[in-house]
Amino acid sequence: MPGGNLAVNVAVKGLKDEIFAAETYRRLASLYRDKALRDKLLRIAEMEENHVNYWRSFLEKRGVDPSRFGVSRLKVTLYTVILRLLGVGLALRVLELDEREAVELYSSIIESPELDEEERRGLVRLIEDELVHEQEFAKEESRFEEFLAHIRDAILGMNDGLVEVLSVTAGLVGAYGDPFHVALSGLVVGVAGALSMGVGAFASVRAQRQVHEGVLSQVKTAVRYAAGVFKERVKEYMVRKGFSEETSKSVAEESARDPRLLSRVVAEEEYGLREEALEDPVKAGLYTGLFYILGAALPLLPYFLGIPVLTAMALSLFTAAAALAVTGSLVALSANLPVKRKAIEMVLLGLGSAAVTFGIGRLASILLGIEVG
């Protein structure tokens, strides 16, 4: 990449990213059956190709040959496959984050004196396009809101199963050297943990849902009999948000004409609640429990292979670390957090916990005179 010139460096990265994005959107469009989503992806791909042309012209004007820069087809293929495996909901979340990163990149040079006025106007249009794309993905993603909520339950359940059983088995390896006993003990812990986590998630979500439903019911009843009071509250909400008195009054009057709309506005503004966002406790319990046992099984499998216990432990740690990196990445995607940082954090926490319990188990084996093989 050319050095010393911020605008050129951003242009090179922008060119590579836009070529990659255009090709990715076209590949994804060919994989999805939903016509509306497919057409949207193709339309965005065409816009990204226009962005490619902008950056090519930008670089040519500065004596840089844009044909030197491209993207690997293998990289595009792998990225597309990963997005497809994630499912539509999480794939849209990834694409939304990609568009956000593009906005941040282009905004970094929008005020640069290295750009002339025409280039600046063109870059503003690019930023507007990326913001539109981000919003398009956010709208599409809202169709999968319930799915994403349950995916979070599944990922967190799987992560808990991984960390807890990995820690238990590491401690047992430190305490004694029979891999079958380690596997059997870990399995008992995993099943017990899955039942506990599943029941706990069900009870927690059910209690939360009941509280929220009670609040929503109270709001609906109150709005029915005291619409005037709530109309004034809506006006106050809008004023606090920065709207003018006239606009706030207009919004409040419009809301008051429909009790359902008025109760919805009050519930969202005053309590932060939306009826359609209430989670299903049964699904939450099932997702959490089932994925807990799946996470627990991964670090246990090597101990069933009949290999030396320390070799099994090394393989267990490697398997768990890979799984923790994946679950950390999925947690980050579902919660709009930095993916790399979260993945590293999850791996370090999981392996750190295992190291501590192994040390405790090793100390116990020394005190009890048990030899680890």
pLDDT tens profile 207-244: 888 888 888 888 888 888 777 888 888 888 888 888 88
pTM, to two decimals = 0.61
Interatomic CA distance for residues 335 and 314, integer angstroms: 31
Q: Which pLDDT band holds residue 122 (cuts at 50, 70, 90)?
A: very high
What six digits make up the tokens of 206? Answer: 């059910």
- Please give the pLDDT value at position 118: 92
- Please give the pLDDT value at position 3: 45
Interatomic CA distance for residues 243 and 360, integer angstroms: 61
Give CA separation, 275 vs 19, 217, 219, in Å.
41, 10, 12
**Tokens 């807890």 — which residue?**
164
- Please give the pLDDT value at position 52: 93
Look at 9-23, 86-100, 177-191 and tell me which has the smallest mean pLDDT.
Answer: 86-100
Interatomic CA distance for residues 237 and 233, integer angstroms: 6
Nearest alpha carbon to residue 170 among 302, 291, 328? 302
Contact present, 169 and 299 (Cβ < 8 Å): yes
Distance of CA 17 to the CA centre of its chain: 21
Q: Is the pLDDT score of 368 beyond 80?
A: no
- Please give the pLDDT value at position 49: 93
